[in-house]
Structure 1
Amino acid sequence: MGRIVLAALVTAVSLGMGGQTATAEPVTSPGVTVPSVKSPDGSYIKSIEVKDSRNITLQIHSAVMDATIPVDVLRPADTSAPRPTLYLLNGAGGGVDTATWKLRTDALDFLADKNVNVVQIISTGFAFYTDWLETDPVLGVNKWSTYIGEELPTLIDAALGTNKVNAIAGLSMAGVSVLNLAINNPGLFRSAAIYSGITQTSDPIAREAVRLTVEVWGGGDVENMWGAPDNPLWVANDPTIHAEKLRGTNLFVSTGNGIPGVYDMPGGEFFPTETVLETPERLAVGAFIEANVDMFNRNLESRLREFDIPATFVYRGSGTHSWGYWQDDLKTSWPVLAQGLYSAP
């Protein structure tokens, strides 16, 4: 059925139907054209690029951001029946740079035989995949929580003929985003996995980590995101404070501790040869980030224990903030993700 849905969608888009109002229904027989799909707020699929039999790019027009956003999709090998969907979030760069799951890891190769739709979210960098209070002069309009949690699933389910079962995973900056998306959209994501992810926002150290990401690396103004430090949005977006709302979600959390490990050797696959001056700086920054993430994750674990909420936590004995570890962690997390994707609710 999935191949029919995709083929019909390509036909619909090629006929210029992307912006028309219609109700999407799964295609159950050949020759039926999928009508133009719209989410409840009017978002729609504007165009589609079929790269090969497994890889497509959807151009999604987001109503809440009034922008067209690309979404890369890896289709299941077997589309004879509706399949679940894994939403995969990148780190601070948001996927608009080269620091992506696709370019830095073998994640898509690993997932290729799992019979799951892999939806790779591409967003504005340094925006925390959240809804911002104000438009930022540098980072623009950001309403990513609404986009991912409300607009996108309707379109993905209709376009790909999914079974409407989802999981979500992300790394680094996306850690807090993954957890908040699970908290704010109960039942949408049965499993959630984060790798070296920020899991606090209202603690002073966590607030500074968020500020550094948005302002120093992204060039934006963090007060345009959640306001001044005393704004209630900082607490509202702190998943550790709201950990009780994660009950029922299959959770996986992993982190290193900042001590250089197997993937932190210059000249290796995940650490290209650099100058003598660059290597210590890279190690120091990666170690600093990971040591703080380790602390945040332990605080989350303690909070979940308070509520007797089960979760899988993996604390690697070494490792900085690096793609090699995240590649391994995704594979380690697969049983937890699969539990939500393939098990009966």
Structure 2
Amino acid sequence: MRLRTVLAVVTAAVMVSGVGFATARAVPPGPVLRAPAGGFEELSVPSSMGPIKVQVQWAARGGSAALYLLDGLRAPAGHSQWTTDTDVLRRFAGDDVTLVFPVGGHASFYTDWYRPSSTNGQSTTYRWETFLTRELPDFLAQYGVSRTNNAVVGASMGGNAALTLAAHHRDQFRFAGAFSGFLNPTFPGWDLTMRAAMLDEGRFNLDDMWGPVGDPAWRRNDATVQAELLRGLPLYITSGNGVPGPLDASSAVGNTVNAMGIESLAVIAASIFRERTTALGIPARVDITAGTHTWPYWQQSLATARPMILAALGAS
């Protein structure tokens, strides 16, 4: 059987103080039964969308559990913002869980689209659900990373995706978290907000993602609608209330005003999700605090979620 040789390219600079980078190496021409113990790497992962960069921090003691972390709407092409805008690498450096940072997914909502965006010349159809639940787990299995003992969290755009991916792939995920996510896209008027945001962020066409409102894809990708599928899964949902808090002090006034407006929508979504899970009798921790739509608060949310994640994965 022919096995693909995987090139692992190591980042040249330390992105977070105190976190080391592994020496560049190629994957052996056969399955690896145990993930490397510690260290940071960038991998090139084959997919139906073409090669996808994935940044990883390997489990400290070579364990098989993994935590997937999803970016927001403005996901950059070169790196995950989790690695540059939060302390996640340092915070999990001693934990026996591999951190998995898919790079890219700009305005994708980490879902499988019907077709390429027709308004910005996009040539490839986004297939992010396929990548995150089939292609990437299969690839990471070559390193000994489990296909079934995973957690997933996402910020903003990635929040709803984290919950819907977990809902539809319960065999893969054992924990899900959403920080300032838009968790109810079928709620009246939300499509207009999403359409405006996607046009503003790269001229993406919402209709090419899930079709017109009312298409079954909308309900399938609505975490609140799919809440029943999350029963029995540990869940952690957070949102700010749109009122600036101490973590906004270093932001420019214009950025803070924008973040206030977006978070005032996210808190509505979190409240609707909480009402839905309460009505269904599904335990879910939902924290609503002072704060806006920005990375320092999502760093704080992940720090709070860390013990829950490690416990769910048996990696504490």
TM-score by length of structure 2 reads: 0.85
1:194-343 aligned within 5 A: 194-265=178-249, 268=250, 271=251, 274=252, 279=253, 281-316=254-289, 318-342=290-314
User: Match for 2:140: what amino acid?
Assistant: I
Shift of 1:229: 1.9
Residue 96 in structure 1 maps to residue 81 in structure 2? no
Q: Return the alpha-carbon distance in structure 2 between the equivalents of residues 209 and 98 of structure 1.
A: 26
| Aligned residues of 1:171 and 1:197 also touching (Cα < 8 A) | yes
- Find the residue that maps to 1:204 and give its secondary structure: coil
Residue 133 in structure 1 maps to residue 123 in structure 2? no
Aligned twin of 2:30: 35
For each residue in 1:232-286, what CA deviation from the matched residue of structure 2 results, as whole angstroms up to 9, or x when unmatched?
2212211101110001211000010101111222xx2xx2xx4xxxx2x322211
User: Match for 1:89: what amino acid?
Assistant: L
User: Match for 1:107: what amino acid?
Assistant: V
| Aligned residues of 1:92 and 1:126 also touching (Cα < 8 A) | yes
| Aligned residues of 2:38 and 2:93 also touching (Cα < 8 A) | no
Aligned twin of 1:55: 40
Unaligned runs of 5+ in 2: 8-26
Off by >6 Å, runs of 4+ in structure 1: none
Q: Return the alpha-carbon distance in structure 2 between the equivalents of residues 233 and 200 of structure 1.
A: 13
Residue 177 in structure 1 maps to residue 172 in structure 2? no
Shift of 1:333: 1.0
For each residue in 1:194-236, what CA deviation from the matched residue of structure 2 results, as whole angstroms up to 9, or x when unmatched?
1111111111232223212321223111100011123222122
Shift of 1:124: 2.7
CA distance change for structure 1 residues 175 and 211 in 2, over 3 Å: closer, same or farther?
A: same
CA RMSD of superposed structures (Å): 2.5
- Find the residue that maps to 1:263 and give its secondary structure: helix
User: Match for 2:95: what amino acid?
Assistant: K
Shift of 1:191: 0.3
Shift of 1:97: 5.9
Q: Which has the larger radius of gyration?
A: 1
Aligned twin of 1:72: 55
Q: Return the alpha-carbon distance in structure 1 between the equivalents of residues 147 and 211 of structure 2.
A: 38
Unaligned runs of 5+ in 1: 1-8, 15-31, 38-49
CA distance change for structure 1 residues 94 and 187 in 2, over 3 Å: closer, same or farther?
A: same
Q: Return the alpha-carbon distance in structure 1 between the equivalents of residues 305 and 229 of structure 2.
A: 21
- Find the residue that maps to 1:300 and give its secondary structure: helix
Q: Return the alpha-carbon distance in structure 1 between the equivalents of residues 315 and 95 of structure 2.
A: 14
Q: Return the alpha-carbon distance in structure 2 between the equivalents of residues 322 and 343 of structure 1.
A: 28
Shift of 1:167: 0.4
| Aligned residues of 2:55 and 2:79 also touching (Cα < 8 A) | no
1:119 paired residue among 100, 105, 110: 100
2:88 paired residue among 102, 107, 114: 107
Q: Return the alpha-carbon distance in structure 2 between the equivalents of residues 184 and 99 of structure 1.
A: 24
For each residue in 1:167-197, what CA deviation from the matched residue of structure 2 results, as whole angstroms up to 9, or x when unmatched?
0111001111101101111221100111111
Q: Return the alpha-carbon distance in structure 2 between the equivalents of residues 205 and 231 of structure 1.
A: 15
CA distance change for structure 1 residues 250 and 34 in 2, over 3 Å: closer, same or farther?
A: farther
Shift of 1:330: 0.4
Shift of 1:132: 0.5
| Aligned residues of 1:95 and 1:121 also touching (Cα < 8 A) | no
Shift of 1:331: 0.3
- Find the residue that maps to 2:54 and give its secondary structure: strand
CA distance change for structure 1 residues 240 and 162 in 2, over 3 Å: closer, same or farther?
A: closer
Q: Return the alpha-carbon distance in structure 1 between the equivalents of residues 96 and 238 of structure 2.
A: 24
- Find the residue that maps to 2:136 and give its secondary structure: helix
Shift of 1:93: 2.0
Q: Return the alpha-carbon distance in structure 2 between the equivalents of residues 53 and 304 of structure 1.
A: 37
| Aligned residues of 1:128 and 1:174 also touching (Cα < 8 A) | yes
Residue 158 in structure 1 maps to residue 142 in structure 2? yes
Q: Return the alpha-carbon distance in structure 1 between the equivalents of residues 286 and 145 of structure 2.
A: 33
| Aligned residues of 2:112 and 2:128 also touching (Cα < 8 A) | yes
TM-score by length of structure 1 reads: 0.78
Identity of aligned residues (%): 30
Q: Return the alpha-carbon distance in structure 2 between the equivalents of residues 148 and 98 of structure 1.
A: 16
Aligned twin of 1:18: none
User: Match for 1:76: what amino acid?
Assistant: A
